[in-house]
């Protein structure tokens, strides 16, 4: 996701794990909380 600043965070794995870990990262590191649905849509779009 593009926050308007550089973030080197990268995660790979099963979709469920990526959603959970990426959600934790955005909340803890950037103060941005996304719903599971929003993260799922973003990740699925990135895979196509």
Question: Tens digits of per-residue pLDDT, 34-46?
Answer: 999 998 888 788 7
- pLDDT at position 7, please? 87
Q: Could you read off the pLDDT of 1-48 as tens digits, one per residue?
A: 555 568 888 888 888 998 999 899 999 999 999 999 998 888 788 776
Give the Å distances, CA to CA, from 16 to 3, 20, 33, 45: 22, 6, 17, 15
pLDDT of residue 45: 83
Give pTM, 2 decimals: 0.73
Per-residue CA distances from 36 to 5, 6, 45 (Å): 22, 23, 14
Give residue limits of the domains in the chain. 1-48
């Amino acid at each position: 996701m593009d926050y308007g600043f550089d973030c080197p965070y990268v995660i790979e794995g099963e979709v469920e794990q990526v959603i959970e870990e990426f959600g934790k990262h955005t909340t803890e590191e950037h103060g941005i909380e996304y719903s599971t649905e929003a993260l799922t849509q973003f990740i699925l779009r990135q895979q196509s």
